[in-house]
Amino acid sequence: MIRSLQEIKRELKNRRGAREKERDNDGRVIVDFCVHSDDDFLSPYSLRSSAELSTDAGEFIERSLETVPVKEQVRLRVHSNVITNEEQVAYTEAISSFYHDKYESVRREKRRLVVLAAVMAIIGVLALTVMIGLEVTGTRTAVISEIIDVFAWVFLWEAVDLLCFQLLALRLKSWRYLSLLACVVEYLPLAKQEKI
């Protein structure tokens, strides 16, 4: 029997409601993950004095939050029997450092986009001003007018695209990284049923 797309959509909605993310007492979304061997928890290229989270661990945490709104607060629960108390401090700092770097990178990219959008908007407005000046002086031809018109609107549209669409995507990323930067990290022993 072939089900309709509406039935499948309804079924997925019911399943999604049953699989809500777990939250702690403060309302933070809980992300659980296991560390069976902490050899890959930190980047192999970082120094122990300035340890950095491995890309795999960082991507796992971000993927775990894909269905959670970006402004939600986060609690990371690390289940492991191999992480010592001293390593817990270093790993918490590594997580914070990893997402601080990502947040700063996105913040710089947002600033660059705003400057680029402003330059493109100014170029577009100047081109329209030139077209109006040519029309006022009577030296305007149809071909030149069309070329300047297309040139101006391309720059103006690109400025709108940067500000309205690309900047919004970066803003969402920065909110996610900020929530991960401020996350609470909790270390729990690995239960026997969680072992592979």
Q: How many domains does the chain have?
A: 1
Confirm whether 4 is domain-assigned: no
Confirm whether 1 is domain-assigned: no
3-state secondary structure of 12: helix
Confirm whether 98 is domain-assigned: yes
Confirm whether 8 is domain-assigned: no
What is the reported pLDDT for 48? 63
Q: Taking the model in full, what pTM does it have?
A: 0.78
Confirm whether 103 is domain-assigned: yes
What is the reported pLDDT for 115? 96
What is the reported pLDDT for 8? 78
Confirm whether 95 is domain-assigned: yes
Print burial letters for 129-159: b (CB count within 10 Å at least 16), e (below 16): eebeeeeeeeebeeeeeeebeebbeebbebb
Confirm whether 7 is domain-assigned: no
Closest CA to 158 of 135, 124, 132: 124
Confirm whether 68 is domain-assigned: yes
pLDDT in tens, 56-92: 889 999 998 888 888 889 999 999 888 888 888 988 9
CA R_g for the chain: 25
Q: Residue 139 belongs to what domain range?
A: 23-194
What is the reported pLDDT for 16? 62
The segments of the chain whose pLDDT lies below 50 read: 18, 196
What is the reported pLDDT for 158? 94
What is the reported pLDDT for 87? 87
Closest CA to 99 of 63, 153, 60, 53: 53
| Beta strands 184-188 and 29-34, pairing class | unpaired
